[in-house]
Amino acid sequence: MSGPVLLVLRLLITASIYAFLGWALWALWRDVQQQSALLANRKIPTISLNIRPAREELRVSHFVQPEILIGRDLAADVRADDETLSARHARLTYHHRQWWLEDLQSTNGTFLNRERLYTPTVVVSGDQVDCGSMTFTISLATESINPPTQKIPSQLDDLD
Amino acid sequence: MQRLLQPPPTRIQLQSRLLITAAVFLFLYATVLTLSPAARERTWDTAYRWTHWLGYASWCFSIGMIHWQVRRKAPESDPYLLPVAALLSGWGLLTIWRLLPDFGLRQAVWMILCALLVFLGLRKPGLLRALRRYKYVWLVSGLLLMSLTLIFGTNPMGGSQRLWLGCCGFYLQPSEPLKLLLVVYLAAYLADRMPLKLRLFTLLAPTLLLTGIALLLLFVQRDLGTASVFIFIYASSLYFASGRKRALLASGALILLGGLAGYFAFDVVRLRIDAWLNPWLDPSGRSYQIVQSLLAIANGGILGRGIGIGNPGLVPVAHSDFIFASIAEETGLAGTVGLLLAIGLFTARGMTIAISAANRFQRLLAAGLTTYLSAQSILIIGGNLRLLPLTGITLPFVSYGGSSLVVSFVSVLILMQISLTEEEEPAPLPMTQPYRLLPALLGLGLLAAALVNGWWAVARSPALLTRTDNARRAIADRFVMRGSLLDQHNTPITVTLGESGDYTRAYLYPDLAPVTGYTHPSFGQAGLEASLDNYLRGLQGNPASLIWWNQLLYGTPPPGLDVRLTLDLELQAQADELLGDRAGAVVLLNAKNGEILAMASHPSYDPNRLDQIGETVAGSPSAPLLNRATQGQYPPGEALSPILDVLNIRMEKEIQSLYTSFGLYETPDLRMPVAIASDPKEPLLVSPLQMALAAAAVSGNGVRPAARIAQAVNIHPQGWVILPPNSGPVEALPPADARSVSQALNIPDTNFWQCRGQARRDGSVYSWYLAGTDANWQGTPLAVAVVLEANRPDLAESIGQKLLGTAVE
């Protein structure tokens, strides 16, 4: 009889859809497990800035977020009411297991160890940064001082 | 845990395994489609379907080509997107082929074109950068294409909406690529501007302008479904970029307002919204599409009718807007839940790609594309399920339509390109809320679709499938043997002839048409064909397991059962001959057990020629469709006066009480359509059947039997099983009274009594004649009632006497 034969085939069709979905979900689950295991070993090292703004007292700030904005802007993380500072002056970002300093086309420029900064550059503990008349030194938590394990991309476009 | 330690498959391995599973699924699908005529006609000796294997081959070729290119150029791209896209597009392609092979062939050609595009696209790593850089060029050219439809627009399906640009049999719907281009433009623009958080409105002015132009074009073209998709794309892009929930709420309000304004401004919108809110008011007109879609979904049930075995072609535009209903009918809830899960998987992967994208543009682009495809799917699936108002948009990947398929595959290409950059560190994600809330909303939408699908396919299915506008019943009649109607000597009256797939009903005794009725694909059912339908269709009398099994295997009821009537064709033939072409009715019955031996109603019609004469007889003033014997309502007039005289009844109240015991205020309960009896407070109208039963009370020693028309049903393997009367006999008169009536009204030298009389109503005159065997008769007691719609009591008498005379022989 044609009916029972086709019924078996129809059930197989349904089974094959769910085999597809089940397989995909199983692979996804394993992927998530792997990813979380990888990420658990990766933490943003705390960055501490010893800030010496002009005409103000020295202060130390600790950051755990991956992006720090320096400027006069109200939204900036390191702020100073200083005319030599641009609204969005410079930015520290953590990626590729490094902290990077980037000048945001500020009027007076950003200086790393007294050299003017034109491209995003890796910073390490002890580096001195000058933004306008504000100066700060960087100190990183110990585990991130390892030498870079990854090849640094030569060009970093598309990073707003 | 042992298995966890094995190295996981690489991405390209996983992709190839998923693609093979999809290929197996489609192979089984195509196999069942090939064999499906065998199940429809319940025989292996039939014409099988082969052409769709061409579609399967072109799918294999297309997907194989893309996979090969991914292996070479982008082995680290996301391994889920292509398999899901392949599964959905193949499923769609074969479903379209199953519905309309010509359209399937076109879709297969588009499929290969898509594969070529993706093939070439994978070789261009600079694609994303070019998209971002020339965002205005893309969007403006899309808008120009769209505005060309205002001048050169055509509609390949011949409808009034001219949304296509076409040449030489090749049609493009510019609103499809425009959606993609809008997502690209918004992602690029917002990625460039969004870090400046202030002055939202100045910031958004250019996007509002361009989206506004697009919306205007769509409104002019009355393409309102696409317009709502555009508003949604705009709102979600803004929300992803800014994280402000206001964007979503404002667009929700805008769509609502637009819908409300459209309700009063455009007929199309009003029609769609009315059909959504209350489809049952006008199921054959404005809400025909949605009701038919729900019927298809209900017919699917849980497991589906099987590929090629359902009737999804009954839903208008099943290959495009209503492809979800087709899939629901043939693969059932099990299949559609799989489909919804596949869309959910696509959404989840798209969002994952968005979150781990390397920069803001790519993130917004991935999120925008995913939301767009997913939301459009939910919108049209919701429309098919009456969860949302119906919008004339496609189901991405699945629906017929080259433009839609190309745009869907280009979206997959872009998403795969973005997923390639996952190697790099994800861009910072300042606001996580949009990336949690929107996927959750989409997931909820898919869940709601699954639940509503279950509601129609399981909870509401039995009620929907018995609707008279469900053409599947009539189609099943062509494939499944319907039971015959036989007279009491098993002479066939109405039978089914022909071969499976081509069964037709033949009425061997057409004069009985008002009684036996008809079963017809467009006129429905009437008479005994309607009232005994469950037996004739095999839904009653057969064991429940057999019915369930047939429904599961073939989607039809089991072969029908023969029903034996109480009619005697010889007496019937005489009654018909005596009545001739005069309007009136005759009922002859066995006064002891109530079996109706002859029942004639004239004028009659030939049910074999219903195709040609159906409209005429339905509108004819002489009402040939009406069974005058049971549904005709005549005033009794003087008909019973002789009996009243014999019993010396004069008072109005006593008369009514006698009439009540004769059953004239009581609707006879038998397996055929009858007129509802008069209310005692209103002027009395009676049917000839009621009068015959009253006469039977006189002939049967005062006992009024319950009338019967269906005597037995032939159930395998038991044989003929008696159908008992629906009610029992009633003591109508004291036996002495019955005897004195039959003696007083006796026809000299016979064993018959008779009475006759006239009745008038609204200027018409009717002649009644009642007769029966008297108390001295030793054989089976008989009773007859005749009514003529003319002033011919003598003729009524001669008809009744002759019939009675033949019957006692």
Residues from A contacting B (CB-CB < 8 Å) are 1-7, 9-14, 16-21, 23-25, 27-28, 30-31, 33-34, 66-67, 75, 93, 95-96, 153, 158-160
Distance from CA of B465 to the nearest CA of A (A): 21
**A68 sits in which H/E element:** strand A67-71
Q: What is the pLDDT of residue B93?
A: 96
Q: What are phi and psi of B647, to 5 degrees?
A: -85, 0
Of A7, A96, A160, the CB nearest to B425: A96
Residues of A in contact with B4 (CB under 8 A): 30, 33
b/e code A57-80 from CB counts within 10 Å (16+ = b): eeeeeebeebebbbbbeeebbbbb
Q: What is the pLDDT of residue B690?
A: 94
Average pLDDT over chain A, rounded to an integer: 80
Q: What is the pLDDT of residue B434?
A: 87
User: Low-confidence residues of chain B, pLDDT below 50?
Assistant: 1-5
Disruptive mutation site among A28, A36, A152, A158 for chain B (greatest number of B CBs within 10 Å): A158
Residue B794, judged by CB atoms within 10 A of its CB (0-12, 13-18, 19+), counts as exposed
Q: Establish, for the pair of chains A and B, how many residue pairs have beta carbons separated by less than 8 Å.
A: 122
Q: What is the pLDDT of residue B422?
A: 60
Q: What is the pLDDT of residue B525?
A: 86
**B342/A21 CB distance under 8 A:** yes
ipTM (interface predicted TM):
0.81
**B79/A67 CB distance under 8 A:** no
Of B21, B306, B362, the CB nearest to A23: B21
For residue B248, what are its two tokens? 């979503």
CA B113 – CA B119 distance, rounded (Å): 10
Distance from CA of B332 to the nearest CA of A (A): 9
pLDDT band at A150 (very low <50, low <70, confident <90, very high): very low
Residues of A in contact with B424 (CB under 8 A): 95-96, 153
Nearest-Cα residue of chain A relative to residue B421: A158
For residue B630, what are its two tokens? 């049971």
Reply yes or no on whether the pLDDT at A126 is more than 60: yes
**B197/A153 CB distance under 8 A:** no
Q: What is the pLDDT of residue B398?
A: 95
User: Alpha-carbon Rg of chain B, whole angstroms?
Assistant: 36
Residues of A in contact with B80 (CB under 8 A): 24, 27-28
CA distances from A107 to A87, A132, B33, B198, B447 (A): 10, 9, 72, 21, 54
Q: What is the pLDDT of residue B55?
A: 95
Beta-carbon count within 10 A of B261 CB: 11
Q: What is the pLDDT of residue B312?
A: 86
* Residues making up chain A, counted from first to last: 160
Disruptive mutation site among B1, B10, B12, B28 for chain A (greatest number of A CBs within 10 Å): B28
**A11/B428 CB distance under 8 A:** no
Token pair 């109240």 in the structure block, residue: B653
Distance from CA of A145 to the nearest CA of B (A): 19
**B309/A160 CB distance under 8 A:** no
Q: What is the pLDDT of residue B31?
A: 94
Q: What is the pLDDT of residue B111?
A: 95
Least confident of A53-62, A74-83, B208-217: A53-62
Distance from CA of A140 to the nearest CA of B (A): 20
Q: What is the pLDDT of residue B536?
A: 92
Q: What is the pLDDT of residues B406-446, one digit of tens each?
A: 999 999 999 999 998 766 667 777 778 888 889 999 999 99
**B39/A27 CB distance under 8 A:** no
CA distances from B122 to B95, B118, B361, B753 (A): 29, 6, 19, 99
**A20/B21 CB distance under 8 A:** yes
CA distances from B206 to B102, B144, B200, B217, B244 (A): 44, 17, 12, 17, 19
pLDDT band at A157 (very low <50, low <70, confident <90, very high): very low
Q: What is the pLDDT of residue B282?
A: 79
Distance from CA of B415 to the nearest CA of A (A): 17
Q: What is the pLDDT of residue B158?
A: 61
CA A144 – CA A64 distance, rounded (Å): 13
Disruptive mutation site among B3, B15, B18, B551 for chain A (greatest number of A CBs within 10 Å): B18
Q: What is the pLDDT of residue B468?
A: 75
**A28/B17 CB distance under 8 A:** no
